[in-house]
Every structure is written in C-alpha cells, then in structure tokens.
Structure 1
Amino acid sequence: MGNWLAGGSSEGLSGELFDLTSVTSVPAHKLEDFIQVNLTPNEECLKLIDQDVDAISNFLRNSEIPVVRVAKGGSYGRGTVLRGYFDGTLVLFISGFRTFGDQKENQHQFVYFIEQRLKQHEKYNKLKNLGNILEVQLSVQGQEILLKLLPAFDPLCSHENPSSEVYRNLRRFMDQAKVVPSEFAVCFTPLQEQFFKKYPRRVRDLILLVKHWYQECQKERKTSPSLQMLYALELLTVYAWEQGCHTEDFDIAEGVGTVLGLIKQSSKLCVYWTVNYNFENETVRNTLLCQLRTKRPVILDPTDPTNIVGKDDDGSWQMLAEEAEAWLYSLRQKDMSPARCWDVLPTPLFITPSHLLDKFILDFLQPNKKFLEQIKRAVDTICTFLKENCFRNSRTKVLKPVKGGSTAKGTALKYGSDADIVVFLSSLKSYDSQKQERSQFVQEIRRQLEVFQQTQNLEVKFEISKWKAPRVLSFTLKSSLNESVEFDVLPAYDALGQLHSGFTSRPKAYKELIELYRSSDILGGEFSPCFTELQRDFIERLPTKLKSLIRLVKHWYKQCERKMKSKASLPPKYALELLSVYAWEQESRMEDFNTAEGFRTVLDLVIKYQQLCIFWTVNYNFEDEPLRTFLLTQIQKKRPVILDPADPTGDVGGGDRWCWHLLAEEAKKWLASPCFDSEREQSIQPWKVPVVQTPGSCGAQVYPSWKPGLE
C-alpha cells in the first residue's frame, strides 16, 4: 500500500511530497485505501470484545437481576467502530421498569445492584459508578472499548416497530416530569442498531472517515471528542448518502465532499427521518414540528424525536465548518479533477413553512449567476462549433443549433439541471429521414466534439457519457463551482423552417407529423425535438415567479423519483411543468401569487390525475383538418391526457403508460406538510382549477357528434 498509509510521508503521483500523518493530507483517490489500512478495526479483535460483552450480559442475567433482554448501543452497537479506541453501551432492560417514570426513579438503585454483582467477577470488577451509569474498560490486542452499562425501561416490549403510543407516552411523561430531552434515548437503543444495520458497508466506511477527521480536529484543538457530535456526524453522513447517492458502489471522495459541504452549511442544517415516527399522529407531529423549528443545526435522532443530537451549544459547528473548508481546499489542490459532490440540501422541503417557500427556492434551487454565465458561454461555444465547424467537409450543413431544456427555459435547478441542443441538419429532409439517419449523425457529432474539447480551453469541462444512444449524444458540463448541467445534442429535421412564416408554416408541419404517426409505429412525441423552439418559448415567456414555482415542483418530483427509483416509471418532469403552467393560467395569471397555494394546486392536480384532460391551442388548434379530428381523438384517450403545447402527438399524461398513482400517493402524504400551514394557522387551499378542458372552453367550434372522453 505504501508507507504513508501508516503515517509519515510519501511521494504523490506527480512526485510531490505529502505529509500524510493527517487524513486531510490524503489525496482523494487514496481515501479508500486510507480507511481500510488505518481506520477499519480488526475483525478478530471485535469478535473477542463481543465475547467479553456477551459474558458480562450473561453473568448479570444469572445474578438475580431481572434483565429481560439486552441491547448494544454506541458506535459499538451501530457498527461504526474506529480502530483503536471506541465507545459502546450495554443497555439492560429491567422487567421491574414498567414506565419511563420507573426508570427515572429507580435507575440509580439498579446501577448499584449491577455494580455489586460485577465486583464479584474476577475479570470485569474494575468499574466506575457515574450515578445512573456504570463504566467498564475492555481491551483486546490494542482495541479498547469504554463500555457503559445502563438499566432501562423497555417501551418497545421487545417489538421491532414502535407504535405512536410509545412516543405519545414519552412526550406526556417528559411534560409532566420536566425531564431533560434525550434522557430516555437509551430506551430506543434496539431501534438505533436496527437503523444502522440496513446501510451498506461502504456507508459505514465513509462514517469512519468523517469521525476520524472530527477526532483529528478535536486533537488539534486539544479538546475531547463529544459522543453526541460523533453520533450527529454519523447521522449526517447517512443523510448525505440517502439523499444524494443511495447506491452501494459510490466514490468515497464524493461522499466526504458532500458531508463537508453540509457541515459548511450547519446554520441551515435540519435533518430527520420518519422511519420510526412520523407526522400522522397529532402529538408526535407537534413534537416533531417543535423540534424542527428550533435553532439550527438540527439533527434529530431517528429513534427518539425528543433527542436533537446536532445542537451547537459550544460553537463546535463553526469550528468544524472552518476545518471542512480547509479539507475541501486541500482535496482540490491535490487532485486535478476533484470529485463532484452529491446534490443534497441542508434543509428538507417537507418541513419548510409556507411563508418561507420563496426563500427556500432562492437559497437552494435557484442557480447562481456565475454558474449560469459559465454555462451560457460554454453552450454558445458549442453552438458556434456546431454551426461553423461541424460537418465542414461534408454536404451536410447545420442549419441552426437551438438551445432547449430547462436552462434555455429559465427553469434550471441549482444542481443536476438539463439542457438540450437540437441540431437542425440540412440532410434531414423529413421526419422519416430523421428516424433513419440520426444515429450516424450522432456518432459523427460525437467524434468531432471529442476532438473539439481537446483543443479548447473552456471554463466548463466536458465529460462524454459512455452511454451510446442512437438518438442523442449525452454529456455533462461541470464547472469549478461543482455544479453541473447534463446536455443532450439531438439531430433533427427542421420541420418549421426558420419560422419566418410564423404560424402559417405549422399546419403543414403538423399535418406531415400526424400522417406519419397514424401510418407507423412511432411513439407520440418522438419528434418533439423538431419543435424545441416552441417548447422553449412556451415556458420562457412566463413570469419569473411562475418559473420559481416550476423549480419547486421539479425539486419535489426529484425527491419522489429518488424515493421510488426501483419501483416503477414515473411520468416525465415535463408533465409537472405543464401542470404548473396550467394551474397558474386557470386561476391566478398574476405575476405575484402565493407560492404555497400554487404548489398545493399542482399536488391537487396530481392527486386527481385520473380526471386530467389538459391542452393548449397556442401553436395548433381545431380550425384546420385533419388537425381538428386528430386533436379530438387525442383528448378522448384514457386519462390523464396532457398534450405538449408544441407537439400534438406528445401526450405527456400518457394514460396508464406511467405510474401516476405512485406520484399521487406521495402528493397525498405531502398535504400534511408544514408547506401548507399558513401563518394564520389555517390550511393553505388549492386554487379552483378545472381538471378537464374541452374544445368549447377554448372557444373552438366542433362537430355536434363530439363527446368528451373519460371524465
């Protein structure tokens, strides 16, 4: 592995000498080796310690102490043990404790009993009594554990899944007895062990790295590490992985960069889980909301809603934020191409109050101007290349490159935004030729683009995708700000010409498209790139605040997508964009509207997906045949029907093509979100928006025989 892994110095790949006595001196590509060689404990040592802990447990069970079961806690129980020295807890659930009150009143008495019994043991008799806790030091071949022994009440009654009644009782007793929050967190130790057990080994490796770094920071400042802070960092690491990655094989450098980025934003941190408790029960909900509204940072114990483990009582988070910035800077200096951080927000949308939604969008979803300027310059450079250099020695000419996607529409998110560049080629003279020949043009553009990126000194770096799609060339632009935009370059037939003739050229283009659609097996919307300009203009013309609402809805969609990734295919994001536009057009049409009301209306439309029939007549209408007949057929399809305003064959509602029901289930859950609680303690209501449009509602005259579709 190299001497540096055990401390000291070693030469880097470029011949540079690194001081590798500290984790912050390790290059990003060597972090995984560092974990395995320096931080992971010896498995044999852990087995021997397990034997000691089990021996203590068995001895006490046989010593007339009414222990009904035991649970292992601390980093030992969570499986996040660092090599060398670590903490552990052995929780002894006592049958005589039938309430939280019993534990509070009699815990010290049972600590005394346990102490007296263990003093009779020849091996484990060196104890320290701290009142309600006993401590025993265990050591095996250089691996040490300070094991705490705690008698406790078992509110779970040996069940794995707690009921809301458990947390109601906890809240009730705490209010009556005025006890310190988190005093009974030990009662939920089995849930803690269960919570961490489900995460991959690699996530725990990342936890070890973060914890080791924190301990180094404390050592440098000559202060002792806090067990609460260590637990908070473990949870923050889990949160980062869950929200930003959720794959077992991930880049350790990306993970640590994400955690460090969250630490830098500690003043905004609000992290929680709903695996053991949630917002459904009123008492638990009120407890949760009270906790989540306290001063940041907030990292809530996933097993005990009264236990905030991320409190900043001594300025530790500010210190860590400074150290995190220093480590990130070190990683950037040592690696020519530092790993990209995951897209993780420090504050969840779900618990954001309605009056703070606009600030949430501004703080977390709106791309910064510098990044947008970088992207604009890079895209302009590519478009110029495609127009002037690509196919220079070929009969094929680029008629025009057109910018599309969320970046062109003005609805890009701060992270993971997309942009399309549609290349209209002279050789593609029909929809059919586009279908038959686009693959070869994709390959040629890729070859030329790869050469081009090697000769240009751009602010934005290209990462050509390995995915070989016959219809599109995909790549990623990554800026020095660690923000990225995914690009698709799509060859297309210029169906609308140069748009000089305006609206008059569109009936002909749509007529050709409909004829091909009816006579072949193409999917609806397959040729939507031909109408990119119309799609872009449809969204681009909208007020700024409506674009912000679209960003919010897209962020919500991404959260749902991440949650249900492995289950089914969700409807396209574009459908949600169009629902946002429709909701605003039907009710508000004001530039300054209530964002929470708009968001609530979109979710309401998602919930009513089985009734939706939505279309626009800005680019096509019912005046010309055969467009009239085709549109009437389209809007009588199985609901939901949401027609692309630029392409009448593109039904992004899709009937039963996509799993709208999963999205609707999530939308129903979100109705309980504080996003929809007004400052006047009244629930935010949706706008009164019709779920079905008819030709008549658009002022169109249709045949008397026309009947609406499924209502």
Structure 2
Amino acid sequence: MAGPGRFSQPWCMDSSSLETWYNENIQRGTEDFDRDCRRAIDEVVRSVQTICSSGGLLFNVDRILKGGSLGKGTMVKDLSDVDLIAFINPPNLAPIVRLGPAEYKRKLAVVIRDLYSAMTGLSFVSNVSKNEFMVNFNIRVGRRCLNVDFLPTSDNCAGHGRAHSDMFRAMLQLHDNHDREFYSASLAEHQLSFVGNQPGYVKELVRLVKYWANDYLPVYLQKSYRLELITIHLWEKAGKPVQFSKAQGLKNVLLVLTRLTALRVISWSGSRLYDATLAQTAITQLKMINPIVLDPANPTNNVCQLYQQGTNGREIASAAEQTLHHTPLLKNVTVRQGWKG
C-alpha cells in the first residue's frame, strides 16, 4: 500500500504540532462519533431485547455486551466498527464443555439462523448476512454506514466453574484449532476489560496508531486488537509513563513493526486469567513462532498469527519503514526512556 503521501496530515507536519492536530482532528470528532454510535447500537440492543421478551426469538438472552473499539473506548471517528456479544441462556445454548464441540456448533447455528431472521425484520438494519460465528449487518450513523458483528455465545467460562485455567486447558485438549475459535466470543468481555481499563492517555496513542494503520495498511491488516495490544505492551515496557510524547510512542510502535520476528509478549500486568506456565504450555503445544503476542484473555490465541501469513509481515514492515523514513512527522524524533519529550 502506497500510503497517503508525505503531504497529508499529520505525516507532513513537524512532531511539535502533533498534539494540537490530534486534539482537533481525532479527539474532538471521535467523541461525537462515539456518542452517535452508542445511540444507534442501543437501538439495536433494545430491539433484540423487545423481540426476546415478546417471544419472537426461539432463545433467551442473558446479556448483550458492546464490543470492538466502541466497547473498549478506542473508537476513531469514521474508522471503527462494532461487535455485539449476546450471551444465550441454556438450554438454547449451553457451554461447549457440556455439549461437546459438534453439538455446540449445531445449537449455535440454530441461534444464528433465528437471530438472522430477526435482524432482517428491523427497518433500520441493512445488508444482513451470517456465517457460523455471527450475524453481520450495517446501521446508519450520521453519514456513515457502521458495520456490526453480532456474535451469540454461551457463557463458556461458567461451564468450568469460572476457573479460567481449567477452561484454557480444556481448549488445549481440542485437536482442531477451528473448534477453539468457538470460545472466542465468550472471552471477548475479558478483552474489553483489559483494553478498556487502560488509562485515557494510552487509548489516545492507540487511536493514533489505528489512524496510521488506516492510512498505510491494507484493510485486512487494519484489525485493531493486535495493534492495541502491541501499543499497550510498549507503553508498559516504557515504564507506564503518565505523560509522554505521542510522537515518540508512535515511533516506538512503528520501529517494532519493522522487526516483527523479534516480538514476543507472553505475560501482561493487570491480567490474571492465566500464569506464565500455562502461557508457555500453550506456546509449546500449539507450536507458536514469533511474532507472538498472547491474548491477555486467552493464552491459546496468538493475535499476531495473521502477520505470519503470506507477505503480511513484509507489508507491515514496509509501511512502517515508509512512515519512519519518508515522512517529516517522525524523521527527527528520538525515542527516549519513558517517551519523555
């Protein structure tokens, strides 16, 4: 991907102007967009709950969580999409450990088919589609169509008595990685809390990294969770500074993206769902190779696996190098300890 060109903002600017540009172009617009998105998503949630209470769906929903960038508080105006996670009550959908993967997939398919029918009946929803994990649709937010993934799931954690380590060990016993993916939606709330509980100034840097990804990476490499985790990891590695230069933080992220094969993150401060021993067991058993960034919500998930496919890693490194060497914004920026200006 060629990128936006050296004369577009903020890449054409001096690093001393980045903070002002961020406040005027990302922070201000994102707050309004975030509010409008929440209103639109709330309408979807209310509609589903109304249909459930009136008996219009063949399943009962325990709760619906707002996921994705909206739920984590890292949304960027006009760039972010939304996940909704609906926890379905038994007997319509029981935990995987009780049903077994095959029966769970069969029951989930019934729920998805029913949810798909319900969404096609909502006048403010368009382009409804489905696959074996979710129902996907668009809703209008201002002048933009917001893409929404609606993922029904059982509370798979409850199936193990809330002992997450037991659940992860059960996941490792599954021979098919595809079967493990059916746990993902039920673990999304832990991803939300991990990223969502990060300080606001860290989320600001995350938004800037996501803005860079939108400008420089192809769409299939812009998925934000792995970039969020890499940014948070580097902030932790920098000493968790409270005040820091966004330009230095961004440059640090891009430098790491040019050297992805050296990236290895297997533990997180503030996340206690699994320990280092279980993390290493997952890495060994699943034969993970660098770059490794273990999901703080799921040690069987290396979020950087996408970067190992085809030429993806080279594409990311090339985009990062282009930004570092051919745009004025970061050219003369030195990454100091604690990202201090």
With over 3 angstroms needed to count, the CA separation of the structure-2 counterparts of 1:636 and 1:442, relative to structure 1, is closer
State whether residues 354 and 596 of structure 1, in contact with CA within 8 Å, keep that contact through their aligned partners in structure 2: yes
Mapped pair 1:447 → 2:117: yes
In the alignment of these two chains, the number of paired residues is 323
Higher relative contact order (CA 8 A, sep 6+): 2
Q: Secondary structure at the match of 1:527?
A: helix
Letter in 2 for 1:675: L
Q: Post-superposition shift, 1:639? A: 0.9
Percent identity between matched residues is 22
Letter in 2 for 1:425: I
Give TM-score scaled by structure 1 length: 0.42
Q: Post-superposition shift, 1:688? A: 6.1
Corresponding position of 1:438: 108
With over 3 angstroms needed to count, the CA separation of the structure-2 counterparts of 1:623 and 1:652, relative to structure 1, is closer
State whether residues 266 and 279 of structure 2, in contact with CA within 8 Å, keep that contact through their aligned partners in structure 1: no
* Counterpart among 167, 172, 197 of residue 514 in structure 1: 172
Q: Secondary structure at the match of 1:653?
A: helix
With over 3 angstroms needed to count, the CA separation of the structure-2 counterparts of 1:273 and 1:398, relative to structure 1, is closer
Corresponding position of 1:649: 300
Q: Post-superposition shift, 1:390? A: 2.8
Corresponding position of 1:429: 94
Letter in 2 for 1:374: D
Corresponding position of 2:282: 631
With over 3 angstroms needed to count, the CA separation of the structure-2 counterparts of 1:510 and 1:273, relative to structure 1, is closer
With over 3 angstroms needed to count, the CA separation of the structure-2 counterparts of 1:637 and 1:423, relative to structure 1, is same
* Counterpart among 656, 669, 675 of residue 329 in structure 2: 675
Structure-2 separation of matches of 1:350 and 1:598: 15
The within-5 A match list for 1:45-444 is 347-366=8-27, 367-390=29-52, 392=55, 396-426=59-89, 427-431=92-96, 432=101, 433-444=103-114
State whether residues 266 and 293 of structure 2, in contact with CA within 8 Å, keep that contact through their aligned partners in structure 1: yes
Corresponding position of 1:620: 273
Corresponding position of 1:28: none
Structure-1 separation of matches of 2:230 and 2:64: 28
Corresponding position of 2:197: 541
Q: Post-superposition shift, 1:583? A: 0.6
Q: Post-superposition shift, 1:598? A: 0.4
Corresponding position of 1:75: none
Corresponding position of 1:476: 138
State whether residues 405 and 419 of structure 1, in contact with CA within 8 Å, keep that contact through their aligned partners in structure 2: yes
State whether residues 424 and 493 of structure 1, in contact with CA within 8 Å, keep that contact through their aligned partners in structure 2: yes
State whether residues 553 and 576 of structure 1, in contact with CA within 8 Å, keep that contact through their aligned partners in structure 2: yes
State whether residues 464 and 475 of structure 1, in contact with CA within 8 Å, keep that contact through their aligned partners in structure 2: yes
Letter in 2 for 1:645: P
Give TM-score scaled by structure 2 length: 0.83
Structure-2 separation of matches of 1:464 and 1:665: 35
Structure-1 separation of matches of 2:201 and 2:137: 30
Q: Post-superposition shift, 1:599? A: 0.2
State whether residues 420 and 489 of structure 1, in contact with CA within 8 Å, keep that contact through their aligned partners in structure 2: yes
Structure-2 separation of matches of 1:638 and 1:507: 22
Q: Secondary structure at the match of 2:87?
A: strand
Q: Secondary structure at the match of 2:137?
A: strand
Structure-2 separation of matches of 1:554 and 1:383: 27
With over 3 angstroms needed to count, the CA separation of the structure-2 counterparts of 1:394 and 1:670, relative to structure 1, is closer
Letter in 2 for 1:595: K
Q: Post-superposition shift, 1:521? A: 4.4
Q: Structure 2: where are the runs of 5+ without partners?
A: none
Q: Secondary structure at the match of 2:304?
A: coil
With over 3 angstroms needed to count, the CA separation of the structure-2 counterparts of 1:571 and 1:644, relative to structure 1, is farther
Structure-2 separation of matches of 1:587 and 1:636: 29
Q: Post-superposition shift, 1:358? A: 2.5
State whether residues 417 and 484 of structure 1, in contact with CA within 8 Å, keep that contact through their aligned partners in structure 2: no
Structure-1 separation of matches of 2:285 and 2:256: 20
Structure-2 separation of matches of 1:371 and 1:603: 27
State whether residues 352 and 675 of structure 1, in contact with CA within 8 Å, keep that contact through their aligned partners in structure 2: yes
Structure-1 separation of matches of 2:75 and 2:110: 30
State whether residues 168 and 300 of structure 2, in contact with CA within 8 Å, keep that contact through their aligned partners in structure 1: no
Mapped pair 1:598 → 2:269: no
Q: Secondary structure at the match of 2:10?
A: coil
Q: Post-superposition shift, 1:675? A: 1.6
Q: Secondary structure at the match of 2:136?
A: strand
State whether residues 108 and 153 of structure 2, in contact with CA within 8 Å, keep that contact through their aligned partners in structure 1: yes
Residue deviations 1:136-163 (CA, integer Å, cap 9, x gap): xxxxxxxxxxxxxxxxxxxxxxxxxxxx
With over 3 angstroms needed to count, the CA separation of the structure-2 counterparts of 1:376 and 1:394, relative to structure 1, is closer
Q: Secondary structure at the match of 2:149?
A: strand
Q: Post-superposition shift, 1:413? A: 1.1
Corresponding position of 2:211: 555
Residue deviations 1:384-433 (CA, integer Å, cap 9, x gap): 33345237256631121111000111111100311110111122223324
Structure-2 separation of matches of 1:436 and 1:630: 30
Larger radius of gyration: 1
